[in-house]
Amino acid sequence: MSDILRQLEAKREQARIGGGQKRIDAQHAKGKLTARERIDVLLDEGSFEEFDMFVEHRLNDFGMGDQKMPGDGVVTGWGTINGRLVYLFAKDFTVFGGSLSDTHAQKICKIQDMAMKVGAPVIGLFDAGGARIQEGVAALGGYGEVFQRNVWASGVIPQISVIMGPCAGGDVYSPAMTDFIFMVRDRSYMFVTGPDVVKTVTQENVTAEELGGAKVHTTKSSIVDAAFDDDLQALTQIRRLIDFLPLSNREDPPVIETEDEITRLEMSLDTLVPTNANKPYDMKELILKVVDEGDFFEIQEAFAQNMITGFGRIDGSTVGFVANQPMVLAGVLDSDGSRKAARFVRFCDAFNIPIVTFVDVPGFLPGTAQEYGGLIKHGAKLLFAFGQATVPKITLITRKAYGGAYVVMSSKHMQADINYAWPTAEIAVMGAKGAVEIIYRKDIGDEEKITERTQEYEDRFLNPFVAAQRGYIDEVIMPHSTRRRIARGLAMLRTKQVETPWKKHDNLPL
Ligand code: HXC
């Protein structure tokens, strides 16, 4: 009996060293952890339960019959993060470069299927060379099976991808269909075709970093939600993110006990908005002062910075924050900002996370670049996302809410549940200067008259009370009591239920 046990342990030991010590050393020399080391950091200590440790590929071509490594380039299983269940797969670069074979894909699919049945997130750690080249079409089929499961799982369980090394060819599309993608700076890259193919086809000379590094994907393409300095930081931050998310769409978000009273007043908010309406201020300060313990997990911090999106907690429960940022482009709505916020709103709605929206928006960004780039369609995405969301929605207008952007930013008309305004709010079709130049065009040139008309317009419209008289604003509140107001509103809305007409699915303006 003890012989059998020893044999099992020896087999396990062999599987655990993946592609061997030389390749593990090479992985470390590149500043990367191995797949198993990553799992150890990601999960609670001792919680990992592995599946399919002894799976091997079935290929005999190209001398592969003699090259079998247990596990076949991916470590899969389940464990816990702060006591909550997650499923995961981690590509093992030391085994055939983490490349995907038919059997490797089946291991991932098994995890995806189980996560769907049980209702818990799937986290994928990527570090691989794409399709197993020796395997041909079977590897392509394997990718397809994984992709289809990503589609089924979308909106049912959170799916998170972390790119920690190469991620090319077939490997990019599974992350692209997950909810969040993160990258490790300087040692990971993501592209459909690499620098060599790019050079052949388009004659462009680019490095892997220039083509698909973390900087490109967090600032230009917006494919990636955040970048971290190394494996350790990335994995620790994923643990933090998981703490904000429900395990599936059947659950409410987790509640984390806090000492931060909802009655906490923030007197400094009374002077956050400068008296000069053209002066910027930092909307993040408002978010940080409203959330529990100043803990805010920002999504897409480096992209479309005129829009802020991220998770915080109020009274222990997760809330999705969407906010215009007056510090960048005066907080204007453009195509990138609209797309960024729309995707975030849809995630929150799919996973029962209430949405709090802070508004200070001078309108949509004018110009040919925006119009040719599809501003109408991208703006419509955000309008659609807010209008479709049935989770509790609370909106606060701090300063400007002009024109179409007022309507889009979770206004009462888009079924927000509670709409607050600070006394500094200006809710109007447009700013006073622009309005006067249109309605009093004949007076242009007569400075005195224009100043008088501008003042008249400001007095009449640039306040929250015209909207409040119509019930578009439920209450004009003191800035210092914002946290308490929102917390009480969210508590009141906890049992909100909305019936929507049956449909197969919507036709979001993609
Ligand atoms: C089989 C692979 C492999 C692959 C790497 N390896 N990629 N084996 N299939 N796709 C193996 C190498 O042979 C090597 O084995 C080990 O992994 C490490 O690779 P190196 O090249 O030594 O490492 P490095 O220099 O760090 O370069 C990493 C790399 C490079 C940039 C990822 O290996 C690479 O370019 N690989 C090929 C990428 C690719 O073209 N993939 C196919 C994409 S097509 P040893 O035994 O020496 O350790 C695709 C289509 C799917 O994915 C579409 C589905 C929709």
Cβ–Cβ < 8 Å for 436, 444: no
**Are 132 and 152 in the same domain?**
yes
pLDDT digits (tens, 9 = 90+) for 148-164: 999 999 999 999 999 99
Cβ of 212 below 6 Å from ligand 1:
no
Which residue minimizes the CA distance to atom 32 of ligand 1?
129
Cβ–Cβ < 8 Å for 243, 295: no
**Are 80 and 144 in the same domain?**
yes
pLDDT digits (tens, 9 = 90+) for 469-482: 999 999 999 999 99
**Is a pLDDT exceeding 90 seen at residue 341?**
yes
Give the pLDDT confidence score for residue 431 in this predicted structure.
Answer: 84
**Are 413 and 444 in the same domain?**
no
Tell me how crowded residue 385 is: count the other CB atoms within 10 A of its CB.
26
pLDDT digits (tens, 9 = 90+) for 242-283: 999 999 999 999 999 999 999 999 999 999 999 998 899 999
**Are 419 and 409 in the same domain?**
yes
Give the count of domains, the chain. Answer: 3
Comparing CA positions, the residue from 126, 112, 138 lying closest to residue 176 is 126
Relative to the CA of 30, which ligand 1 atom is closest?
26
Q: What is the mean pLDDT of residues 426-449?
A: 88
- CATH number for the domain spanning 95: value is 3.90.226.10
Q: What percent of the chain has pLDDT over 70?
A: 100
Cβ–Cβ < 8 Å for 309, 344: yes
Q: Which position has the token pair 């130049």? A: 437
Give the pLDDT confidence score for residue 76 in this predicted structure.
Answer: 98
Query: Which of 99, 192, 199 to mutate for ligand 1's pocket (most ligand atoms within 8 Å of CB)?
Result: 99
Q: Hey, which residues does 340 pair with through a beta bridge?
A: none
Give the pLDDT confidence score for residue 66 in this predicted structure.
Answer: 83
Q: Which position has the token pair 């799982």? A: 153
DSSP state of 313: E
Query: Which of 67, 126, 133 to mutate for ligand 1's pocket (most ligand atoms within 8 Å of CB)?
Result: 133
Cβ of 192 below 6 Å from ligand 1:
no
Cβ of 224 below 6 Å from ligand 1:
no
129 C-alpha to center of ligand 1: Å?
4
Query: Which of 89-116 are b and which e, b meaning 16 or more Cβ less than 10 Å from the residue's Cβ?
Result: bbbbbbbbbbbbbbbbbbbbbbbbebbb
| Backbone phi and psi for residue 248, each to the nearest 5 degrees, phi listed first | -160, 175
Catalytic site residue from 120, 323, 405, 432: 405
Residue 401 is assigned to a structural domain of this protein? yes
Residue 499 is assigned to a structural domain of this protein? no
Residue 84 is assigned to a structural domain of this protein? yes
Cβ of 59 below 6 Å from ligand 1:
no
pLDDT digits (tens, 9 = 90+) for 391-402: 999 999 999 999
**Are 402 and 443 in the same domain?**
no
Rounded-to-integer distance, Cα 271 and Cα 168, Å: 50
Q: Hey, which residues does 75 pair with through a beta bridge?
A: 90
**Are 225 and 298 in the same domain?**
no
**Are 485 and 442 in the same domain?**
no
At 103, list the tokens.
């059997």
Assign 3-state DSSP to the chain and report helix, strand, coil percentages, each to 5.
Answer: 45, 20, 35
**Are 233 and 302 in the same domain?**
no
Residue 341 is assigned to a structural domain of this protein? yes
pLDDT digits (tens, 9 = 90+) for 111-134: 999 999 999 999 999 999 999 999
Would you call 290 helix, strand, or coil by DSSP? helix
Confidence of residue 422 (pLDDT cuts 50, 70, 90): very high
Q: What is the mean pLDDT of residues 374-398?
A: 98
Cβ–Cβ < 8 Å for 75, 36: yes
The radius of gyration of the chain's CA atoms, rounded to the nearest angstrom, is 26
Cβ of 142 below 6 Å from ligand 1:
no
Give the pLDDT confidence score for residue 63 in this predicted structure.
Answer: 83
Residue 343 is assigned to a structural domain of this protein? yes
160 C-alpha to center of ligand 1: Å?
23
Domain holding 356, by residue range, is 267-425+463-492
Q: What is the mean pLDDT of residues 213-217?
A: 97
**Are 195 and 294 in the same domain?**
no
**Are 419 and 441 in the same domain?**
no
Q: How far is CA 226 from the centre of its chain?
A: 8
**Are 444 and 417 in the same domain?**
no
**Are 169 and 193 in the same domain?**
yes
Cβ–Cβ < 8 Å for 223, 181: yes
Q: Is 404 a catalytic residue?
A: yes
Confidence of residue 1 (pLDDT cuts 50, 70, 90): low
126 C-alpha to center of ligand 1: Å?
13
Query: Which of 24, 96, 150 to mutate for ligand 1's pocket (most ligand atoms within 8 Å of CB)?
Result: 96
Give the pLDDT confidence score for residue 122 in this predicted structure.
Answer: 98
Burial class (CB in 10 A: 0-12, 13-18, 19+), 251: middle
Rounded-to-integer distance, Cα 99 and Cα 167, Å: 10
Cβ–Cβ < 8 Å for 267, 289: no
Catalytic site residue from 208, 404, 434, 491: 404
Residue 135 is assigned to a structural domain of this protein? yes
99 C-alpha to center of ligand 1: Å?
6
At 31, list the tokens.
């500043």
Residue 340 is assigned to a structural domain of this protein? yes
Confidence of residue 190 (pLDDT cuts 50, 70, 90): very high
Which residue minimizes the CA distance to atom 55 of ligand 1?
170
Rounded-to-integer distance, Cα 131 and Cα 137, Å: 9
Q: What is the mean pLDDT of residues 303-314?
A: 98
**Is a pLDDT exceeding 80 seen at residue 376?**
yes
Residue 247 is assigned to a structural domain of this protein? no
**Is a pLDDT exceeding 90 seen at residue 318?**
yes
Give the pLDDT confidence score for residue 443 in this predicted structure.
Answer: 87
